[in-house]
């Protein structure tokens, strides 16, 4: 058994991006953004360009459907010897997906520069150039750039307070519906709807008709794509002598003839159907994440196969391992700037296990354990496993989870139904839907099958907002009024005054960011409709409207990643202690010292560092943390998306807590210019939690998820903590975390010495995985600074 697993692991293709930038400065471009065997795949771009040329003048949704069809009908397929589940969003295993329709500029730069030279050869480069000539003025970033004017244009340019990007979308298709009726069932429904509108003739007749026709094209395209694999597998089988291999190929042929067109009949068919839909979503548009509640969706297929004697447990495990390899083929190209935010990511795929069903009953089944065993045996970057916790989560499952965490891969990461379901209810999600939430990637919470084409449109750097508040919004370099015009710091007489000015700055910058995003979303609606994704969601066919033209009525939607909340908290605490209480310096003096990066005033910096810090169960500062989070979240909610849903933050700091910190000068918490921020919304600043892991939870629990947003909390534990008798203690720690209703927690289970040694001898640790934020990455892929910030996380040990 072990031998087979090793064998399977060797087939992994690693498409993780190495971070080469911090903010907009080069950090380590020379080592390249990708491993040398990874190549940019131009086929999708080529086929899309050809289709766009041929459909000029047609309605955009039809053009998108036709382009999707053209890609799926003509892209080269591959079936590797060992595969039992097939499909890819690229035409060869080492290929890297690239959305020329979104943003070609950064890719053009990457392949010319050091970071991506190996991605394309000369021929490829010139073909890319020719294609770009067509897309100039037509890609999303072109359209957006010509549309942004005035203050919008001014604030779009990144200066360190917020970063807005065309980042990929997430979203979870309605797999339960798809498995029930097959794509053919959806096609039938669309056809029925077409007939209906011909009799009723609604006001938006044309729009509906174009949408429904496009959806049918897209669905049929995916069925034919599957059938092409069937044909290919049969041809290969005819040429294959080796019996086992031949059998696998014929099995592929039969499977791909049946799904995704028809409802799956077996576990294997269900996985294959799912994977085709997943790939379809990735091909249509630049997307990320998975989100499927794996045990809930696949558990019954597995159990049926077992009771029918079609499948053994070992075989199921092997099929899952093979699927894990396939997940890894779905990487995508990042821009260098984004590499600083998503250092080490492939495509941020997470699957969800555990939790309750729509009626509130625990869903744990054998598949839950199989998923964990697969993760344990494969130890891959992706998919990350999001485990939902509730009171009824079996002890046995928690022990298994601890065993997998002990591998050091950073997951399963834990999500708390007790914190998140009430929060979703607060966001107007009906109870049944709230109970069905899933995690697509990082800590992104979504509702399977609902029209939530969410994206994180960027990152808001909260300590920079505080910094503006300490400078009246004036850029000291040129005296320009850049941020909100808040009072002169000399007038602040309490921490509350500063907090108010900080919130004004948040309001100012987030307001601008929201305008940019809302403009862009209307561009997406016009130029990037998604007929395929719409068709596999609940409600689009029924309404005859594309996913982008309406929205699931809840603020679960779009969010902004908020960075560095803890640094704001610790800064306010330091000001309170050092300026207002101990009166060591005045506030203007402190700002001046801080702006000189503390030079010559180490004693003041030490006094700031020694002020109470969040994460130690100390009310003095934890209550400020509450004010900062509650204040920030209500300012964000003052703004809404195009459909009127209030906006919100998201605790996923990704690696932006390091990458984007570059453009924030020194802050009052004693942090120096450009130093990394605390690594997540609920995490203490690195090395600032002295009171141990129970105190960290006590601090975190004071910030009510319901009043804020979904959070992320990192903890670093020594491996011994999860071993032997200690595992019981660890599980009880998890249960207490659950009782405290904290929305999330995850663990890096590794000792500092190992990490330090890995920095010294990267060659010995090429496959060592660590948790960065809501995802795991190969330690060696991360830049030195990001590695350091992980090493500096406080190690929770037992005394």
Partner 1 sequence: MTDSGDKGLVFNIQRFSVHDGPGIRTTVFFKGCPLRCLWCSNPESQDYRQTLIVRDMTCTACGKCVAVCPLKAISIDENSGRRIDWSKCNQCLRCVEACMYSSLNRCGDYMTVAEIIKEVARDTLFYKNSGGGVTISGGEPLLQHAFLMKLLPVCKDSGYHVALDTTGFASREVIKSILPYVDLVLFDIKHLDDETHRKLTGVGNKAILSNLREVAKASNIWLRVPLIEGLNDSAEEIEKIGKLAKAVGAEKVSLLPYHEGGVSKSYQIGREYLIPKAKPPSAQYIESLKCLLLKMGVKATVGS
Whether the CB-CB separation of 579 and 572 falls below 8 Å is answered with no
Residue 777 backbone phi and psi in degrees, to 5: -145, 160
The helix or strand, by DSSP H or E, that contains position 439, with its residue range, turns out to be strand 438-439
- Rounded least distance, CB 98 to partner 1, Å: 48
Nearest-approach distance from CB 716 to partner 1, in angstroms? 14
**Shortest distance, position 4 Cβ to partner 1, whole Å:** 33
Strands 39-40 and 474-475: unpaired
CA neighbor of 415 nearest in space, from 469, 351, 470:
351
For partner 1, the closer of residues 216 and 414 by Cβ is 414
Helices (H), ranges, 172-312: 175-200, 205-239, 243-258, 267-284, 294-308
60 and 8 Cβ atoms separated by less than 8 Å = no
CB of 415 to partner 1, least distance (A): 19
Exposure letters 138-177 (e unless 16+ CB within 10 A, then b): ebbbebbeeebeeeeeebbebebbbbbbbbbbbbbbbbeb
**Helix, strand, coil abundance in the chain, percent, nearest 5:** 55, 10, 40
In this complex, which beta carbon is closest to partner 1, that of residue 177 or of residue 726? 726
CB of 730 to partner 1, least distance (A): 9
Minimum CB distance to partner 1 smaller for 9 or for 752? 752
Q: 123, exposed or middle or buried, with CB in 10 Å at 0-12, 13-18, 19+? A: exposed
Nearer to partner 1, 296 or 406 (CB): 406
Greatest distance between any 2 Cα atoms in the chain: 85
From the CB of 135, what's the least distance to partner 1, in Å? 56
| Rounded least distance, CB 701 to partner 1, Å | 9
SS3 of residue 418 by DSSP: helix
Question: Degrees (nearest 5) of the Cα angle 53, 143, 133?
Answer: 45
Nearer to partner 1, 645 or 796 (CB): 796
Nearer to partner 1, 589 or 739 (CB): 739
CB contact at 8 A, 572 and 471: no
User: Among candidates 746, 748, 727, which has minimal Cα distance to 737?
Assistant: 746
Cβ of residue 712: shortest distance to partner 1, in angstroms? 21
| Cα–Cα dist 710/69, whole Å | 37
Peptide bond into 412 cis (omega under 30): yes
- Which of residues 488 and 602 has its CB atom nearest to partner 1 in the complex? 602
Instruction: Give every CB contact of residue 524 below 8 A, 6+ residues apart in sequence.
Output: 140, 548
The C-alpha atoms of residue 389 and residue 622 are separated, in whole angstroms, by 25
Output the smallest distance, CB 685 to partner 1, in A.
17
Beta carbon nearer to partner 1, 82 or 798:
798
Shortest distance, position 721 Cβ to partner 1, whole Å: 8
695: which 2 tokens?
Answer: 């105190």
Kindly tell me which of 220 and 735 has the beta carbon lying closer to partner 1.
Answer: 735
Q: Which is nearer to partner 1, 205 or 690 (CB)?
A: 690
CB 318 within 8 Å of CB 267: no
8-state DSSP, 356: B
Token pair 């020694």: residue: 610
Q: How far is the CB of 734 from partner 1 (least distance, A)?
A: 9
Cβ proximity to partner 1, 133 vs 799, nearer residue: 799
Residue with tokens 């035409």: 91
Which residue lies nearer to partner 1 by CB, 250 or 726?
Answer: 726
Nearest to 507 by CA among 496, 495, 518, 515: 515
- Kindly tell me which of 469 and 701 has the beta carbon lying closer to partner 1: 701
CB closer to partner 1, 267 vs 717: 717
Q: Which of 176/618 has CB closer to partner 1?
A: 618
Least separation in angstroms between residue 693's CB and partner 1 is 5
Positions that interact with partner 1 (CB under 8 A): 602-603, 606-607, 610, 617, 691-695, 698, 725-726, 728-729, 732-733, 735-736, 739-740, 796, 798-799
In the numeric block, which tokens belong to residue 598? 């503390």
Q: Which residues pair with 471 in a beta bridge?
A: none
Hey, how many other C-beta atoms are within 10 angstroms of the C-beta on 426?
14
Confirm if 652 and 561 have CB atoms less than 8 A apart.
Answer: yes
Give yes or no for a contact between 135 and 142, defined as CB atoms under 8 angstroms apart: yes
In whole angstroms, what is the distance from residue 513 CA to residue 559 CA?
11
CB of 345 closer than 8 Å to CB of 15? no
Residue 748 CB, nearest distance to partner 1 (Å)?
Answer: 17
By beta-carbon proximity to partner 1, the closer residue of 82 and 690 is 690
732 Cβ contact partners less than 8 Å away, ≥ 6 residues apart: none
- Map tokens 């492939």 to a residue: 346
Q: C-beta of 731: minimal distance to partner 1 in Å?
A: 9
| In the complex, minimum distance from the CB of residue 35 to partner 1, in angstroms, rounded to a whole number | 39
């Amino acid at each position: 058994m072990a031998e087979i697993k090793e064998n399977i692991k060797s087939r992994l293709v690693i498409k993780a991006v190495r971070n080469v930038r911090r903010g907009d400065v080069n950090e380590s471009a020379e080592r390249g953004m990708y491993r040398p065997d990874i190549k940019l795949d131009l086929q999708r771009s080529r086929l899309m360009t050809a289709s766009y040329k041929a459909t000029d003048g047609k309605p955009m949704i039809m053009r998108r459907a036709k382009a999707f069809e053209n890609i799926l009908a003509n892209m080269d397929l591959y079936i590797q010897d060992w595969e039992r589940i097939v499909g890819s969003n690229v035409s060869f295993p080492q290929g890297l997906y690239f959305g020329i329709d979104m943003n070609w500029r950064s890719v053009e730069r990457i392949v010319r520069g050091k970071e991506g030279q190996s991605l394309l050869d000369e021929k490829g480069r010139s073909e890319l150039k020719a294609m770009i000539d067509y897309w100039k003025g037509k890609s999303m970033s072109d359209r957006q750039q010509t549309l942004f004017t005035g203050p919008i244009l001014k604030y779009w340019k990144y200066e360190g307070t917020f970063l807005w990007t065309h980042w990929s979308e997430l979203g979870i298709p309605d797999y339960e519906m798809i498995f029930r009726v097959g794509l053919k069932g959806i096609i039938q429904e669309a056809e029925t709807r077409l007939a209906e509108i011909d009799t009723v003739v609604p006001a938006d007749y044309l729009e509906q008709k174009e949408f429904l026709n496009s959806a049918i094209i897209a669905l049929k395209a995916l069925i034919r794509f599957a059938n092409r694999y069937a044909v290919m597998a049969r041809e290969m089988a005819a040429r294959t002598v080796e019996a086992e291999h031949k059998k696998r190929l014929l099995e592929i042929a039969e499977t791909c003839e049946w799904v995704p067109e028809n409802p799956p009949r077996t576990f294997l068919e269900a996985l294959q159907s799912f994977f085709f839909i997943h790939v379809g979503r990735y091909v249509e548009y630049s997307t990320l994440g998975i989100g499927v509640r794996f045990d809930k969706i696949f558990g019954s297929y597995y159990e049926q196969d077992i009771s029918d004697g079609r499948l053994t447990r070992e075989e199921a495990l092997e099929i899952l391992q093979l699927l894990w390899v396939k997940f890894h083929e779905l990487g995508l190209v990042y821009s260098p700037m984004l590499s600083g935010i998503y250092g080490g990511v492939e495509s941020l795929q997470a699957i969800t296990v555990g939790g309750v069903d729509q009626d509130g009953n625990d869903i744990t089944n054998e598949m839950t354990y199989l998923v964990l065993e697969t993760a344990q045996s494969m130890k891959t970057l992706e998919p990350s496993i999001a485990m939902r916790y509730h009171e009824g989560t079996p002890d046995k499952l928690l022990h298994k989870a601890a065993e997998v965490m002990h591998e050091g891969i950073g997951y399963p990461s834990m999500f708390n139904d007790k914190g998140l379901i009430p929060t979703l209810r607060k966001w107007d999600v009906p109870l049944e839907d709230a109970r069905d939430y899933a995690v697509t990637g990082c800590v992104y919470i979504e509702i399977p099958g609902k029209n939530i084409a969410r994206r994180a449109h960027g990152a808001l750097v909260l300590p920079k907002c505080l910094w503006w508040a300490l400078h009246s919004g004036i850029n000291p370099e040129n005296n320009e009024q850049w941020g909100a015009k808040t009072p002169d710091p000399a007038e602040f007489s309490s921490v509350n005054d500063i907090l108010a000015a900080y919130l004004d700055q948040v309001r100012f910058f987030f307001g601008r960011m929201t305008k940019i995003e809302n403009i862009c979303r209307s561009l997406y609606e016009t130029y990037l409709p998604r007929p395929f994704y719409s068709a596999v969601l609940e409600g689009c066919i029924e309404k005859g409207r594309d996913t982008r033209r309406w929205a699931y009525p809840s603020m679960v939607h779009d969010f902004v990643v908020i960075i560095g909340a803890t640094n704001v908290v610790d800064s306010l605490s330091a000001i309170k202690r050092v300026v207002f209480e101990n009166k060591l310096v005045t506030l203007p003096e402190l700002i001046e010292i801080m702006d000189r990066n503390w030079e010559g005033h180490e004693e003041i910096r030490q006094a700031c560092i020694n002020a109470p810090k969040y994460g130690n169960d100390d009310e003095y500062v934890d209550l400020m943390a509450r004010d900062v989070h509650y204040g920030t979240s209500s300012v964000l909610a003052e703004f809404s998306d195009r459909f009127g849903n209030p906006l919100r933050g998201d605790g996923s700091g990704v690696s932006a807590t390091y990458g984007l910190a570059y453009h924030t000068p020194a802050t009052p918490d004693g942090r120096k210019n450009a130093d990394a921020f605390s690594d997540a919304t609920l995490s203490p600043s690195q090395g600032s939690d002295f009171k141990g892991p129970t105190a960290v939870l006590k601090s975190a629990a004071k910030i009510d998820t319901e009043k804020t947003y979904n959070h992320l909390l990192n903890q670093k534990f020594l491996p011994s903590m999860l071993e032997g008798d200690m595992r019981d203690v660890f599980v009880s720690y998890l249960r207490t975390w659950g009782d405290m209703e904290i929305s999330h927690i995850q663990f890096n289970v590794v000792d500092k010495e190992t990490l330090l040694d890995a920095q010294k001898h990267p060659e010995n640790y090429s496959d060592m995985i660590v948790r960065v934020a809501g995802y795991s990455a190969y330690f060696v892929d991360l830049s030195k600074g990001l590695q350091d910030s992980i090493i500096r996380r406080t190690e929770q040990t037992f005394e």
